[in-house]
Structure 1
Amino acid sequence: MIRPVDDETMVGGQLYPERIADLGVKMIVNNRPDQEEPGQPTSAEIEAAAAAAGIGYRHIPVAGGFSDAQVQAMIEALSAADGPVLAFCKSGMRSIYLWALARARMGDGADALLEKGAAAGYDLSPIRGYLG
């Protein structure tokens, strides 16, 4: 399920290459490591489908916590997008967390981020202390 977070960002669970062309986004951010589970499309497969549809693509795999480099890479992806961004992982949770951490560093307030997360159906309170 893809959920809007704000006018510029959506998050969701696993994407499949055959669905990418119809998403209406300008950038896809893949937060899943390859081979996280059997049958999952690879980053290369998703990147190829994105390229064929004229959509930008970034692979920022997250497993076991968030690093400064991953947050910075998300900032760069959000900043480079010329239109809506869709970030995905298995459930959308890592993606919304990484989005919130990036947006906090970009100057968004913690309360606004918590509200946007809640409106999209995600609880950001576990990372509240990292949002400023």
Structure 2
Amino acid sequence: MGKMMQTAHAANTYAAQKVMTCAKEDLPTMLYGGAVRFINQSLQAIEQGNLQEAHIYNLRAQDIVQELMITLDMQVEISKSLMSLYDYIQYRLIQGNIKKDKESLIEARDMIQELRETWVEAVKIARKERGGAAHGVL
């Protein structure tokens, strides 16, 4: 196994452990952050003319948005609004990937960043209301 593969494997193992040990309410924050990172990597690859790499990073961002969609509890009213947002973000990612359109990717990234910031604030408020408990359901 080459050094690059070992590094990738170690990073994936670390990420998996982090997900498995995080509080349930921290998972969306991590997913949003990962999607933003992959979109930024896709944008950078487009700028460098590496379209295959841009495609791979874009698909990773799409996978994260798909995961966010799958895990929504549609019995909760806000989930319907989030589903619409995620669906639009997914559409912009797909358009950005097909056309290698940076504007579509930037729009998707900015929406995800805004969702992440909102989620972080909501978690802070919920934890404060629970008396600072680190774990539990929002």
> TM-score, length-normalised on structure 2?
0.29
- Higher strand share goes to which structure? 1
> TM-score, length-normalised on structure 1?
0.30
